[in-house]
């Protein structure tokens, strides 16, 4: 790939009117708290949920997600890779091919009951300026698990944390959601 490929991608994404430039993080990155994905499973009959938690705590942040995203998160948790890349694996492969690193995933706000996500990318090896792209929280988490990126949440999202209660049915590696 030509050396200018990643720069062209970044330029195209940042052009005026680009959806990338449509939203800023709800809080500064330094206000975010790093979390881990505890589990993905079913919160009820056919209702997938991913559980996030600040390391060392018991309270979890439940985010209700779609079945495809739940399956992608499950694959990321278990390090499973399908024989042919599915959407999240494909996007991860595209980033690698363009020499773009997904460094952080943010779940930075809740608007009308919807969790908002953001991807933080680094283009090239020497560029100190991150490229942030608006995302659904579930897609951001799935891609973050696929690529090894850290996951961070805002204080507003942390406030939604629930104390441990009825356990979520955790999937096993061979179970599809």
For residue 7 the two structure tokens come to 């720069």
What local confidence, expressed as pLDDT, does residue 175 receive?
40
Domain ranges of the chain: 30-160
- Average pLDDT of the chain to the nearest whole number: 84
pTM for this model (two decimals)? 0.81
| pLDDT tens per residue, range 78-108 | 988 889 988 889 999 999 899 999 999 999 9
Check residues 17 and 143 and name the one with the higher pLDDT: 143
- Residue 102 contacts by C-beta under 8 Å, 6 or more apart in sequence? 92, 95, 119, 120, 121, 143, 144, 147, 149
- Beta strand pairing call for 61-64 and 100-111: unpaired
CATH homologous superfamily for the domain 30-160 = Bifunctional nuclease domain (3.10.690.10)
């Amino acid at each position: 790939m030509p050396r200018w490929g990643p720069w062209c991608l970044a330029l195209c994404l940042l052009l005026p009117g680009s959806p990338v430039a449509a939203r800023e993080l709800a809080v500064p990155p330094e206000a975010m708290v790093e979390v881990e994905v505890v589990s993905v499973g079913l919160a009820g009959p056919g209702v997938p949920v991913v559980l996030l938690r600040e390391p060392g705590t018991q309270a979890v942040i439940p985010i209700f997600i779609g079945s495809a995203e739940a399956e992608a998160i499950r694959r990321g948790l278990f390090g499973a890779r399908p024989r042919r890349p599915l959407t999240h694996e494909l996007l991860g492969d595209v980033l690698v091919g363009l020499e773009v690193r997904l460094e952080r995933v943010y779940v930075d706000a809740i608007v009308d009951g919807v969790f908002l996500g953001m991807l933080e990318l680094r283009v090239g090896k020497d560029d100190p300026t991150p490229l942030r792209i608006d995302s659904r929280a579930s897609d951001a988490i799935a891609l973050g698990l696929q690529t090894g990126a850290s996951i961070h949440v805002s204080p507003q999202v942390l406030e939604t944390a629930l104390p441990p209660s009825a356990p979520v049915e955790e999937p096993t590696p061979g179970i599809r959601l």
